[in-house]
Chains A and B, each alone.
Chain A
């Protein structure tokens, strides 16, 4: 269960990046603010699979990051019931010089498992990712498809109740993509909640139960998938981007 109440997020764009600029500009605080999320109200029930659509910069990724506790909201409330696991994009948490096994251990622990639990699931993760003999090779030798498979395999084995996916599904080959979809279906059946961002309307039609359209930091439309997609695609501004 996820509930967002009047969620706002504002970023400060200061132009300091070094001591020099900080010292030069300390009097004139050149801080620009911009609001990415301007009051989001959203309720997602347990077991729902919700897709977020919207143009670049609409606040989709910021919303996911707020849920993962990466940012603190400027105002508003986030109520999350259950353990959240973000699906890491293309090996964000992988160290290139370490082997697959070592990286699985680290990623599992960072996503909240104990070392013991990771060890118990090691075989299942390796099998799901189809790494086979690559497990002992350093991760820098992996292809991007292999990395994506490993990332997905870890994320679905950490016992999360809520899975957060930010445009990462379309990286494996066709067979693996099918496998991911099957796993997602299973996850839904077990009562797991999924919130994902995608620009692939076909993916959304396939797995989402509900679609939320974000526009300029607000929920523009929220409802059944076909209607929201149709409205989103008919939006003149959305078409400009295409």
Chain B
């Protein structure tokens, strides 16, 4: 693995060029460019906000900011995995002609999704500012924001590891892509995006604490929770007229997620390296 990492480091310019190329291609033919990439999260959050505020009685102030804070990391994971799944297969014509470290392909897909993610987080802060200006009584900002690099790093490694694994599998079995699409879609429902992890705890208490633990053993769910805890000011969610006590960031669960993220990265990279020589020989 060290040998491969050293080779990857030598090819960093290629990785950089590929990321730049992907960002260019994505917005080449559209005038609104980057704005299009914001359309999806903003519209999705608007619909979620509407449904959950008015039909599901979620009365938490600034609810939309809480949704967006958790939806952006989910969207990054989804986009990174889907884009990298296709990356090797799409580049097969050039893979068959020139040697370069193959892992650059899925990594470039993950990196360009990561760039979007970071840009979208920039817009998120503008969003918070708008909320604050429209209602200066509750400040949505908090000092927790300084912890942002931690979940950012973890989500990068989790997405990169998953992307490496899926891109390798998808090169041999093209149906993997469809299975992954379904799983990613279902993932949205088992992540605290449209609802709060406080609600999960309240509902779990009937069955035992393990339900809450099992829910957050899903690293994507835990990362969504972590981003929400870090990005938005602590505030008790109010659902159905009942106020639930705000939970602060659970470092134990985040530690578990960290272990899983690095584990997935090492495992995914090892698997990719094991099979990467067979990409060109696929039937």
Contact = CB atoms under 8 A, between A and B. Distances in A.
Given A89-B97, A115-B13, A97 B281 contact: no
A13 B93 CA distance: 19
Given A70-B96, A98-B28, A17 B174 contact: yes
Interface string B9-44: 000011011100100110011000000000000000
Contacts of B93: 92-93
A22 interface: yes
Given A17-B173, A106-B21, A93 B280 contact: no
Interface in B135-168: none
Given A69-B99, A71-B281, A19 B175 contact: yes
A95 B24 CA distance: 11
A22 B169 CA distance: 12
A111 B16 CA distance: 14
A83 B95 CA distance: 18
A91 to B, nearest CB: 9
A18 B172 CA distance: 7
B127 interface: no
A16 B13 contact: no
Interface string A67-86: 01111100000000000001
Contacts of A98: 21, 24-25, 28
A70 B21 contact: no
Q: Is the interface of A mostly helix, strand, loop or mixed?
A: loop
Contact of A70 (B14, B16, B97): B97
A92 B97 contact: yes
Contact of B21 (A14, A102, A111): A102
Contacts of B28: 97-98
A92 B94 contact: yes
A115 B17 contact: yes
Interface residues of A, number: 33
B100 interface: yes
Interface in A1-36: 11-20, 22
B70 to A, nearest CB: 32
Given A16-B172, A19-B175, A111 B98 contact: yes
A135 interface: no
Contacts of A124: none
Instruction: Specify which of B29, B95, B172, B176 lies most central, judged by the most chain A CB atoms within 10 Å of its CB.
Output: B172
Interface in B86-112: 93-100
B25 to A, nearest CB: 6
Given A71-B277, A97-B28, A18 B174 contact: yes
A109 B14 contact: yes
A92 B95 CA distance: 9
A13 B18 CA distance: 32
B122 interface: no
Candidate in B14, B100, B282 with the most chain A CB atoms within 10 angstroms: B14
Given A70-B98, A97-B28, 19 more contacts: A13-B283, A14-B283, A15-B283, A18-B173, A19-B173, A65-B96, A68-B98, A68-B99, A70-B95, A71-B277, A86-B97, A92-B94, A93-B98, A95-B25, A97-B25, A97-B29, A109-B14, A109-B17, A115-B13
The 10 lowest CB-CB distance pairs between A and B, nearest first, are A69-B99, A93-B94, A109-B17, A92-B93, A92-B97, A72-B277, A109-B14, A19-B173, A97-B28, A19-B175
Interface of B: 13-14, 16-18, 21, 24-25, 28-29, 93-100, 172-176, 277, 280-283
